Amino acid sequence: MNNNDDLINNILNELDNKAENEKPVTDETPEPSPAEDEPVQRSSGDTPEDVSQDSGYPSHDMPEDMPPQEQFGQPMQPMRSQHNPKKKKKKKKRSRVPGVLILTTFIVAVSIVLSLVIIAFGKDMLGIGKDDSTHLIVVKDGATTEEIAYMLKDEGIIRSPKAFIYFSKLRKSDAAYVPGEHFIKGNMAYETIIQKLTTTQSEAKNPVELTIPEGKNLDWIAEQLEEKKICKAKDFLFTFNSGGLGCDFENQLKGTDNSLKFRRMEGYAFPDTYMFSEDMDVTEVCQKIYFNFNKKMTPERYSKMNERGLTLDQLITFASIVQLEAASPDTMKDVASVFWNRRNDPEEFAGKLQSDPTKNYANLTIKPRLDVPNPTMLDAYNTYIAQGLPPGAICNPGTDAIDAVLDAPQTDYKYFAANIYTAETKFAVSYEEHLANLDVIHAEEAEYEAEQASREAEQAAKEPAQQEGAENAQQ
């Protein structure tokens, strides 16, 4: 404060000196002293000459141009300058209080602003006051520090890209950033963020690869994660179904009715091969799977989804049924057209999809895992009972099934049946045609099973002879 006081005084002194130098110089005449003698009293009959004599002044010494009142004995006024300039008022000294207040207020305001800025940057650099949500940052090969800094800002991890760039240069980390996926928490300090971004995952823990095939449900995935020592199954199911992991697709799920759902986020574990690590943070495991699904849902798919009049949850639920019903990716679009037609048929199907996989999910996946029986939920998933789509997905579909729903052709198909051995699928418009297709398929399957049994019998007959020959060779 001493420095501030000196600064204020110096400025005010400069202002005062400037005011003194600019003060105008005036030629003022000092006021005369009043006359010492009392004026001479005169009578009404006195003459000017008598007055002059009585006053003691020689008559010949009186000026001719003397004003009459002075000639007749009035007090004489001092002689003024011929130009008689007006009297100048003395300038009052300006008060220093307003200037001090204004300057002090300005300095205090600037000090407060600078303090707040410094505190804000300090908190940002140390990660103070920020949430601990996990973000998946993908560093591209050859990415610059500036690109990484603004990516961190867009994710809400840091507030000042320039401060991060400057800090990175001080740490000499500009050329050390590792391309790939990195998990960053919002409350990490700059030092920790840079350490994360310059460390490969393999350096941290033992890497573990896990492939999630199309059509598997979350319970199967959870069991695989625990078996491979990546994370606990129950922790995965809880975290994955809780959501809120910062992906854009989650915004599409707002307002979804989850009251009858068994697994809230069933269907959003995108089938793919993932690289995890042993004892990995469960949030990071879920974040990686969420991020992959988020990438697969492109703007083009969202546009088609809206054209079809579907929500994201309806699309994934629909695709999960197609995923388990279709015998091969080549038949998925026609299978999807069958369910579109059933969904829109109020007479023959009453809006019921009549899908066997939905009934199996209710009885084989949900029912054994319910602590308390819930017939309402089981019936809602069974599309032989409930109308329309079930409350949620019954598996995790791939892009083929998703695109099949979006690009399903206009057909009259309402039935289909597939040969379980050859995957050949036959479609029908009427129920009678469907029954005929079933007869053909059953005959084909029976023939295949007979041939398979014959081959197995022949192989069994050959085994004793082969075994006896092997024993003789050893002897």
158: helix, strand or coil? coil
Same domain, 286 and 163: no
- Domain end, chosen from 152, 177, 204, is at 204
Nearest to residue 399, comparing CAs of 311, 267, 282, 291?
Answer: 267
Instruction: Please indicate, yes or no, whether residues 200 and 232 belong to a single structural domain of this protein.
Output: no
Query: Are 186 and 213 contained in the same domain?
Result: no
- Examine residue 173 and state whether it is found in any structural domain, yes or no: yes
Q: Are residues 166 and 237 in the same domain?
A: no
Shared-domain flag, residues 222 and 317 = yes
| Token output for 62 | 């009186």
> CB neighbours (10 Å) of residue 263?
22
Residue 163 confidence (pLDDT)? 82
pLDDT at 86: 56
Pair 191, 213 in one domain: no
Residue 26 included in any domain: no
**If residue 428 lies in a helix (H) or strand (E), which one and from where to where?**
strand 425-428
Q: Same domain, yes or no, for 152 and 164?
A: yes
Which of 172, 188, 204 marks a domain boundary? 204
Q: Is residue 106 part of a domain?
A: no
The residue out of 147, 179, 204 marking a domain boundary is 204
Residue given tokens 């963020």 in the structure block: 193
pLDDT of residue 139: 86
Residue 169 shares a structural domain with residue 280 = no
pLDDT of residue 37: 44
Classify residue 194: in a domain, yes or no: yes
- The residue type found at 327 is A
Same domain, 276 and 142: no
Classify the phi-psi angles of 138: left when phi > 0, otherwise alpha if psi is within -120 to 50, otherwise beta.
beta
> Do the domain assignments include residue 474?
no
Structure tokens at 373: 């029986």
Residues 359 and 275 in one domain: yes
Range of the domain at 153: 124-204
Do 265 and 172 belong to one domain?
A: no
Cα distances (Å, whole numbers) of residue 128 to 120, 152, 154, 165, 281: 9, 16, 18, 19, 22
Instruction: List the pLDDT tens digit at each of the 475 positions of the chain.
Output: 444 445 444 554 554 555 455 445 444 444 444 444 444 444 444 444 444 444 444 444 445 555 554 444 555 555 554 555 555 555 556 666 677 778 788 787 777 776 666 665 566 666 676 766 778 888 888 888 888 888 888 888 888 888 888 888 877 777 788 887 888 887 888 888 888 888 775 555 688 999 999 999 999 999 999 999 999 999 999 999 999 888 899 999 998 999 999 999 999 999 999 999 999 999 999 999 999 999 999 999 999 999 999 999 999 999 999 999 999 999 999 999 999 999 998 888 999 999 999 999 999 999 999 999 999 999 999 999 999 999 999 999 999 999 999 999 999 999 999 998 998 999 999 999 999 999 999 998 898 888 888 888 888 877 776 666 666 666 6
Amino acid 120 reads: A
Backbone region of residue 447 per phi and psi (left: phi > 0; alpha: psi in -120 to 50; beta: other values): alpha
Are both 232 and 309 inside the same structural domain? yes
CATH number at residue 152: 3.30.1490.480
Residue 418 β-bridge partners: 425
Nearest Cα neighbor of 182 from 169, 200, 157 is: 200
Q: How far apart are CA 95 and CA 101, in angstroms?
A: 11
| 163 found inside a domain | yes
Q: For residue 131, is it within any domain?
A: yes
- Please report whether residue 380 resides in a domain: yes
pLDDT of residue 123: 62
Residue 271 amino acid letter: P
Structure tokens at 32: 């005369």
Backbone angles phi, psi at 248, to 5 degrees: -60, -35
Number of domains in the chain: 2
